[in-house]
């Protein structure tokens, strides 16, 4: 706790400092403590979601940064968390109280601000207690270290990420979701299973796999898609044919045959889950002739099947990202 020169008797707690003046008024600086991994919290003022930036990289950032989730571009000072705001508020209120006391009572002979006949002592700044990190990322372009708590599309410094980076992040996030469910045990796991969380999570992941491949393929292809073919990138064989017709390599030759066949089944499962409540039809049986599913049976995706689909999709995304413009 110090009385800063230029602050005329004002004391500030540890973690705050008076740094010069603005418009004749002292300028107050408040520290942002990093978490145990060296990251400081950020909260988007638009979507309200949290992410983190490594403390060592923060000062080197441009004045305007991006929200990693929604892409809002704004001054980095607006990305404050609730805990940071409370910390600022305590410092500012204490500062304001001392200014008011000084205006009312002046300073003591010792140059101190008095309250109730005693030297004023500011209250300590509240600590910042962040939840543990989920996933740490390094931007491939600027090397910025940041942490996310969900699927993201932007680097805080560079802006929109390349499609293949977004796809890789989404696949990692899908695996993390399965890992989180695997860690649930006992009564908690039983309750989640009864609520359908396990089944729904695997279904959501399978549906998301097709969407992320579609986004990546569109970015690599780069050509306008006629309305009649608007879903071409949601279907494996037509997607591969479209790339071949444009002079790209044949994805079917770039992906292991066994993986390609499993992907065809995964894509058909996604179709059933979206359009037929997961009920097996004749088209599905044609794509999975050696499977155990029966006509009219409702699909249930196991943890093993879901993880295999993620890894197969990872191979497909790598093959798509490696396609060279003809």
pLDDT of residue 110: 61
pLDDT of residue 191: 95
Cα gap 65→71, rounded to integer Å:
9
HSE at residue 210, side-chain half, CA atoms within 13 A, is: 23
From residue 255, alpha-carbon distances to 209, 236, 262, 263, 315 in Å are: 16, 12, 11, 10, 7
Cα dihedral across residues 140, 143, 148, 154: positive or negative: negative
Residue 234 burial (C-beta neighbours within 10 Å; 0-12, 13-18, 19+)? middle
- Please list the alpha-helical segments (H only) found in 45-185: 55-58, 82-105, 163-183
Task: Tell me: pLDDT of 78 over 50.
Answer: yes
Average pLDDT over residues 55-76: 94
Nearest to residue 1, comparing CAs of 111, 125, 127, 129? 125
Average pLDDT over residues 119-145: 87
Average pLDDT over residues 27-41: 90
Task: State the chain's mean pLDDT as an integer.
Answer: 89
Nearest to residue 182, comparing CAs of 168, 197, 167? 197
Average pLDDT over residues 171-176: 92
Cα gap 57→54, rounded to integer Å:
5
pLDDT of residue 312: 98
19-28 contacts at long range (C-beta below 8 A, 24 or more positions apart) = 26/95, 28/91, 28/92, 28/95
Model confidence at 111, pLDDT cuts 50, 70, 90, reads low
pLDDT of residue 11: 77
Average pLDDT over residues 116-127: 80
Residue 309 burial (C-beta neighbours within 10 Å; 0-12, 13-18, 19+)? buried
Cα gap 117→35, rounded to integer Å:
39
Task: Tell me: pLDDT of 139 over 60.
Answer: yes
From residue 235, alpha-carbon distances to 5, 191, 231, 239 in Å are: 70, 36, 7, 6
- Lowest mean pLDDT, pick from 108-112, 164-168, 282-286: 108-112
pLDDT of residue 283: 83
pLDDT tens for residues 272-281? Answer: 999 999 899 8
Task: Give the residue, 56 or 116, on which the prediction is more confident.
Answer: 56
Average pLDDT over residues 135-160: 92
Average pLDDT over residues 182-199: 94
Cα gap 131→265, rounded to integer Å:
39
Average pLDDT over residues 179-202: 94
Task: Tell me: pLDDT of 268 over 50.
Answer: yes
pLDDT of residue 135: 84
From residue 293, alpha-carbon distances to 57, 148, 259, 264 in Å are: 52, 38, 19, 15
pLDDT of residue 106: 66
Model confidence at 247, pLDDT cuts 50, 70, 90, reads very high
Sheet-wide strand order for 145-148: 39-43, 50-54, 145-148, 135-138
Average pLDDT over residues 54-70: 94
Task: Tell me: pLDDT of 209 over 90.
Answer: yes
252's torsion region: left (phi>0), alpha (psi -120 to 50) or beta?
alpha
- Lowest mean pLDDT, pick from 52-61, 71-80, 114-123: 114-123
Average pLDDT over residues 293-297: 88
Task: Tell me: pLDDT of 4 over 70.
Answer: no
pLDDT of residue 313: 98
């Amino acid at each position: 706790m110090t009385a800063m020169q230029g602050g005329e008797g004002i004391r500030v707690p540890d973690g705050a400092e008076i740094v010069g003046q603005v418009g004749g008024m002292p300028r107050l600086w408040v520290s942002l403590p990093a978490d145990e991994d060296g990251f400081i919290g950020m909260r988007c003022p638009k979507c309200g979601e949290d992410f983190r930036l490594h403390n060592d990289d923060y000062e080197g950032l441009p004045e305007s940064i991006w929200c990693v989730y929604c892409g809002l571009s704004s001054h980095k000072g607006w990305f404050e968390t609730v805990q940071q705001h409370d910390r600022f508020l305590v410092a500012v209120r204490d500062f304001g109280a001392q200014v008011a006391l000084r205006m009312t009572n002046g300073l003591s002979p010792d140059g101190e601000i008095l309250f109730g006949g005693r030297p004023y002592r500011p209250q300590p700044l509240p600590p910042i207690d962040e939840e543990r990190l989920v996933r740490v990322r390094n931007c491939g372009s600027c090397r910025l270290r940041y942490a996310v708590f969900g699927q993201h599309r932007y680097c805080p410094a560079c802006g929109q990420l390349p499609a293949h980076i977004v796809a890789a992040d989404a696949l990692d996030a899908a695996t993390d979701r399965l890992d989180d469910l695997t860690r649930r045990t006992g009564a908690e796991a039983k309750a989640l299973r009864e609520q359908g969380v396990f089944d729904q999570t695997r279904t959501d992941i399978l549906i998301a796999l097709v969407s992320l491949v579609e986004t990546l393929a569109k970015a690599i292809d780069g050509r306008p898609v006629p309305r009649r073919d608007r879903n071409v990138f949601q279907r494996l064989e037509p997607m591969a044919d479209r790339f071949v017709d444009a002079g790209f390599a044949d994805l079917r030759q770039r992906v292991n045959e066994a993986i390609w066949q499993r992907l065809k089944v995964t894509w058909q499962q996604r179709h059933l889950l979206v359009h037929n409540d997961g009920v097996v039809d004749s088209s599905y049986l044609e794509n999975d002739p050696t499977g155990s599913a029966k006509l009219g049976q409702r699909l249930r995706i196991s943890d093993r099947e879901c993880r295999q689909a993620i890894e197969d999709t990872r191979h497909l995304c790598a093959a798509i990202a490696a396609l060279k413009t003809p």
